[in-house]
Every structure is written in C-alpha cells, then in structure tokens.
Amino acid sequence: MIPRYKDIIELVKKGATVEAQEKILELREAALELQEENMQLKEELSKLKQVINKKENMVYHAPFYWIEDEDSKDGPFCQNCFDSVGKSIRLQKNDNDCWNCLNCNKSYTGPNFKEHNIEELGIGIGMNNIFEDYI
C-alpha cells in the first residue's frame, strides 16, 4: 500500500524521522512504479490507436484490401487474412497481375489478369502430328 502524506507528517511530528524517511522512500518507489506503468499504458494505447486507425482506413476493392487516406493508397493486402484474423498481410505480386499471400497461401488475380489459352502461349504448335500414329 502506498504511504499517505498525512501519515508521514504524523511520524515527523512524533519525532520518528527514521520511520518517516522509510515511508518517503516507499512513496518514491511507488511513484516510480506508477510512472513506469503509465509509460507502458501510453505505449499500449498508442499501438491500439494505430491498429484502429489502420482498420478504419482499410478499404475493400475486390479482391483486395487497401489502406487509403487522403494522400495515398497502400497495398494490396490479403482479404482472407484480414477478414479471418484481422491481419494486414501484404500480397506479393507475380506475373500477369497474380498476387499471393505468404501467410495463408491464398492466390488472387487482379483486374488486369489476362487468362491465356494454349494457342496464345505457343504450346503444342507442331505437336499435332506426333499423335497421328496412335489415333
């Protein structure tokens, strides 16, 4: 229990200066502990405010989440990770506007994704005659 100022004054009036000094030291220790706790709580509050601010600025444009404010747009972030556990996991871009999440391994295709067929890729050209003997 934190010593009260009133109790310390009473000890001094009684001439119990050693006891009063001990109570003053206890009071100083308690004040330091409260300062440390206060700093920790301020840090925690700051982190929580950042999380809230981030979530408030998180905007869903299918199939991705983006962090948007007046000046910038950051992302894309994984829709699965954000919706299921609230994590903002940045997606990694591959070729052809394909995006992968390294956290949940989900893949997404962006608006510029172009589906290719075999003829466009040149696969199989000149291979038709190989199978004629088996038909």
Give the least confident one: 83-92, 98-107, 115-124. 115-124
Distance CA 79, CA 28 (A): 51
Distance CA 94, CA 41 (A): 42
Closest among 64, 66, 58 to 106, alpha carbons compared = 64
Q: Is the pTM of this model over 0.85?
A: no
pLDDT reported for residue 119 = 60
pLDDT reported for residue 123 = 53
Closest among 81, 72, 83 to 91, alpha carbons compared = 81
Under DSSP, the state recorded for 125 is T
- Name the residue with higher pLDDT: 42 or 10: 42
Half-sphere exposure of 27 (CA within 13 A, CB side): 13
pLDDT reported for residue 16 = 81
Q: What is the DSSP string of 28-75?
A: HHHHHHHHHHHHHHHHHHHHHHHHHHHHHTEEEETTEEEEE-SS-EEE
- 117 pLDDT band, cuts 50/70/90, is low
pLDDT in tens, 41-87: 999 999 999 888 878 889 998 899 999 888 888 889 999 999 999 88
